[in-house]
Structure 1
Amino acid sequence: MTWRTRLFALWALLWSAAMTVIFAVGFLVSNVFRRRAETFRWWARWWGRAILLGLGVRLRVEKRGRLDPDRPYVFAANHQNALDIPILAAALEHAFGFVAKAELEKVPFLGAAIKHSPSVFVDRSDPRRSLESIRRAGRRIRDGNSVLIFPEGERSYSGQMGRFKKGAFVLAVEAGVPLVPVTIRNGFTVLDERRRVARPGLVHVVVGEPIPLEDRTRRDIPGLMDELYARIARELPAAPAPTTLHLPSET
Structure 2
Amino acid sequence: MRTSDEIYHRVRWDPSLDPERFVMGVAERGTAVATRIGLVDFVAGGEIPWHRVLFFEADGELVWDRASGVDRLDETLAGRVRPEADARDGAAGGVLAVPPTYRTAVAWLPPEALWEPIQHVRRAHDRHVHRWPPHVNVLYGFVPESEFVVARVLVAAALREVPPFRARLQGVHWFGHREDSTVWLDPAAAGGEPWARLREALEERFPLCGAESRAFTPHLSLGRTRDPRALAARCEELLGTFSVRVTELVLLSRRADGPMRVRAAVPLGTRPVRR
Smaller-chain TM-score bracket: under 0.3
**Greater length-normalized contact order (CA 8 Å, ≥ 6 residues apart):** 1
TM-score, length basis structure 1: 0.26
The structure with the largest helix share of the pair is 1
